[in-house]
Amino acid sequence: MPYPMQLGFQDATSPIMEELVYFHDHTLMIVFLISSLVLYIIILMLTTKLTHTSTMDAQEVETIWTILPAVILVMIALPSLRILYMMDEIYNPYLTVKAMGHQWYWSYEYTDYEDLTFDSYMIPTPDLNPGQLRLLEVDNRVVLPMELPIRMLISSEDVLHAWAVPSLGLKTDAIPGRLNQATLTSTRPGVYYGQCSEICGSNHSFMPIVLEMTTLKYFEKWSSMMQ
């Protein structure tokens, strides 16, 4: 969960999100160095009257400021491509869950079980219990086992939605007539919150997502009770 006045990302819960945070820090450092260099050159040009004619006309300098940006772009592109391939790869998922977006709630189907489907509605503010989060708590949480690869199949029944859980590094569009795929793996137990991230109508702000990551033993017990 984010906290008030937070400036960075939420704590990473999945290996993908950890890689995304590292990539963000890597890229931000490059941007910071470039910005500092440009600011230094601008200040230098505004505060000195000296002009070095051989520097201004040198072919070596032009070669450097042509090649150096290309090298920097490669340093950014290679880690980015690596993470993109990691996000697309799914190795023998333990479980497949289909999430369908509606106006304005989510429905879930555990496709590996015969009859394990439910709708997930936001709990209205007057019905919240002490400690529950306003606009984020739902009546039926998605319970999943931790430390196992889970495949999410995401689509929509009506308009565009987006299934997003920031701490897991997930954001996948739910498009009517199209089935999108995402993978998630949680490294620790906990309750993780997300929301629809695509403007889908008047109640767009009122269709949260809640994942409860548990041990495999508890998940099997829960699934047998839900069927």
Task: Give the DSSP letter of residue 4.
Answer: T
First to last CA, the chain: 30
Could you give all domains of the chain from N- to C-terminal order, each with its CATH number?
A: 15-88 (1.10.287.90), 95-226 (2.60.40.420)
159 vs 56, residue with greater confidence: 159
- Say how far apart CA 80 and CA 26 lie, in whole Å: 10
As a whole-number percent, the residues of the chain with pLDDT over 70 amount to 96
β-partners of residue 170 are 165
Mean pLDDT of 174-180: 93
- Say how far apart CA 30 and CA 199 lie, in whole Å: 33
Q: Tokens in use for 118?
A: 């439910």
Q: How many CB atoms lie within 10 A of CB 173?
A: 17
Mean pLDDT of 173-186: 92
Whether 165 contacts 191, CB under 8 Å: no
- Say how far apart CA 169 and CA 20 lie, in whole Å: 7
Mean pLDDT of 25-52: 88
pLDDT higher than threshold 90 for residue 215: yes
pLDDT category of residue 149 using cuts at 50, 70 and 90 = very high
Chain Cα centroid distance, residue 210: 14
CA nearest neighbour of 17 among 210, 198, 192, 214? 192
As a whole-number percent, the residues of the chain with pLDDT over 90 amount to 68
pLDDT category of residue 44 using cuts at 50, 70 and 90 = confident
pLDDT category of residue 54 using cuts at 50, 70 and 90 = low
- Say how far apart CA 74 and CA 68 lie, in whole Å: 10
Q: How many residues does the chain have?
A: 227
Residue 46: which residues within 8 A CB-CB, separation 6 or more? none
R_g (Cα) of the chain, nearest Å: 24
Going 189 to 191 to 192 to 195, the CA torsion angle's sign is: positive
- pLDDT attached to residue 52: 65
Average predicted confidence (pLDDT) for the chain = 89
Task: Give the DSSP letter of residue 9.
Answer: P
- Say how far apart CA 202 and CA 171 lie, in whole Å: 21
pLDDT higher than threshold 70 for residue 51: no
Long-range contacts of 86-91 (CB under 8 A, 24+ apart): 86/15, 86/16, 86/19, 87/16, 87/169, 87/182, 87/183, 89/183, 90/149, 90/151, 90/181, 90/183, 91/149
**Among 7-11, 52-56, 159-163, 180-184, where is mean pLDDT lowest?**
52-56
152 vs 88, residue with greater confidence: 152
pLDDT higher than threshold 80 for residue 61: no
